[in-house]
Amino acid sequence: MTDVLTYFDNLSFPCPAHVNPADHLIDLSTVDTRTSSAEETSSLRVSSLIQSWQRHQLTSSQGPAPIISPPEAVVKSPGVSLFRQIWYLTTRNFWITVRDPYGLGGFLFEGVFIGVFVGWIFYKIPGTLTGIRSMQGLIYTVIGLQGYLLLLFTTWKVSVDMKVISHLNTTNDRFTTARGKTRCILRCHLS
């Protein structure tokens, strides 16, 4: 497994700098069906990779080369404490929220809207059993409105991101794959 990149380098498919080697290998070994010329070129590349692998297997049918030196011990990176992870993610989320004026305004409007509207509906509830049931209704209403307003905000945010994705679609060839679009959408909404 450690010689994969060397193998592809010898086949004149070096991994470019600052590119994930796994992504590079996937791009090399898949057929691009976006255009007919890209499909023809990638089909020829995949066929040549298959043929060179078959030749490589025939020449190395003797079996794997003996290991001369023992493998190095795996270096374990020190773990990050739970407090530090929570602190980093909370700080990051705070700054992302503050830098997005529409998102921040939407969340503030949401809180004020729910507070005023629902408070107006359930103003001066009596202390009787009916009033207690009305309080329970208030709680269920607030919980339902919160999810609905969050759904509206997320739908709006995705529609804005779709404009960015559409722009990237026309300007960036590597982005037009389904994997690239999915990666961008997940990166935007999970961060």
CA distance 27 to 49: 12
Residue 19: DSSP 8-state: S
pTM: 0.33
pLDDT bucket at 15, cuts 50 / 70 / 90? confident
Count of Cβ atoms closer than 10 Å to residue 137 Cβ: 14
Q: Which comes out higher in pLDDT, residue 174 or 125?
A: 125
- Domain assignments of the chain as residue spans, ordered by start: 4-59, 100-190
8 Å CB contact between 125 and 135: yes
